[in-house]
Amino acid sequence: MIETIGLGKTFRGRRGQVEAVRGVDLVVEPGEIFGFLGPNGAGKTTTVRMLATLLRPSFGRATVFGADLVEQPAEVRRHIGYVGQRGGTDPTMTAWQELIIQGRFQGMTKSAAQARAQWAVDAFELGECADRRTGTYSGGQRRRLDLALGMVHSPRLVFLDEPTAGLDPQSRANLWVQVRRLREEGMTVFLTTHYLDEADALCDRLVIIDHGQVAAEGTPQDLKREIAGDIVAVGVAGDPKIGRKLLAEQPFVREVDDTDQQTIRLYVDKGDTALPQVMRLLDANGLELRSITLERPSLDDVFLRKTGRSLRDAK
């Protein structure tokens, strides 16, 4: 569906060249929800805009449906839909009008555009507001219309750039349902997000991108499995370096993460048996325990291991 080799984009700034995307290699298979997870400024939107033919790559190559991104952009556009972070609806027009115009832009006859507009209104639950001007819509209604406009011409691949950014929890949950339904109908979805729960819940496979480079790739389950075992987070009084060194020497500790200077994070095979051992060890060595928690690996732990910082802190 998509293949990129060394895809990159350089912009000219006041202080010289800025590499927004630094040689990204991707393969997206048909019929999957493919996630692009990373903090703001990581290069997600720039990559998507290149793949959607809205930006010309500075180097590298890419194909979409076998069509070269640079040499055959019109062929690429025939098969894709694109929903950007900011919608482009006219606040003075209704959803019906917007959808029919979009269908006509895609080369449909008037009757075909009307039929697809009806499908979109039903599919994205816009019936209650379809006859109102879009300027009166709530955030969730406007985002559903954005999705409908990206789907009205029945694309085989759709790019969703931060589709739930700024939405309330209920609207986010509703959009998740819509995205899953698109996949069930055979569409390939390329989703960018900086929400960990969204990537974990929706994506069949994902890439973690940071500073314009791919840091990790795989299914959410495989990426979390790479960490292996459980995480014990320990807070001690005084200098944590002493406790960190002590715990790192224990046979039940696989690894100690020293990224967080205040909290000692231990990677262990079995957290429930490690907890009492940690507590006894600290007490025997006169170290006061302030806090201790047991965690299961998350995508943020993957991001932390791959980049040396938390995705939550990197936003």
Domain of residue 168, residue span: 2-224
Q: Which of 208, 224, 240 delimits the end of a domain?
A: 224
Q: What is the number of structural domains in the chain?
A: 2
pLDDT at residue 313 is higher than 80: no
Q: Which of 191, 224, 257 delimits the end of a domain?
A: 224
Name the more confident of 89 and 310: 89
Q: What angle do CA 227, 40, 16 make, to 5 degrees?
A: 115
Calpha distance 251→231 (Å, rounded): 15
Q: Are residues 237 and 121 in the same domain?
A: no
pLDDT for position 35: 96
Report yes or no on 189 lying in a domain. Answer: yes
pLDDT at residue 312 is higher than 70: no
Q: Which of 194, 209, 224 delimits the end of a domain?
A: 224
Q: Are residues 190 and 205 in the same domain?
A: yes
pLDDT at residue 230 is higher than 70: yes
Domain containing residue 86: CATH number: 3.40.50.300
Residue pair 263/240 in contact by the 8 Å Cβ criterion = yes
Q: Are residues 7 and 125 in the same domain?
A: yes
Q: Are residues 212 and 249 in the same domain?
A: no
Report yes or no on 80 lying in a domain. Answer: yes
Name the more confident of 52 and 304: 52
Domain containing residue 249: CATH number: 3.30.70.100
Q: Are residues 183 and 237 in the same domain?
A: no
End-to-end CA distance of the chain: 30
pLDDT for position 315: 58
Element (H, E) at 64: strand 59-64
Report yes or no on 306 lying in a domain. Answer: no
CA nearest 181: which of 123, 225, 220?
123
Q: Are residues 216 and 259 in the same domain?
A: no
pLDDT for position 178: 87
Q: What angle do CA 115, 86, 96 make, to 5 degrees?
A: 20
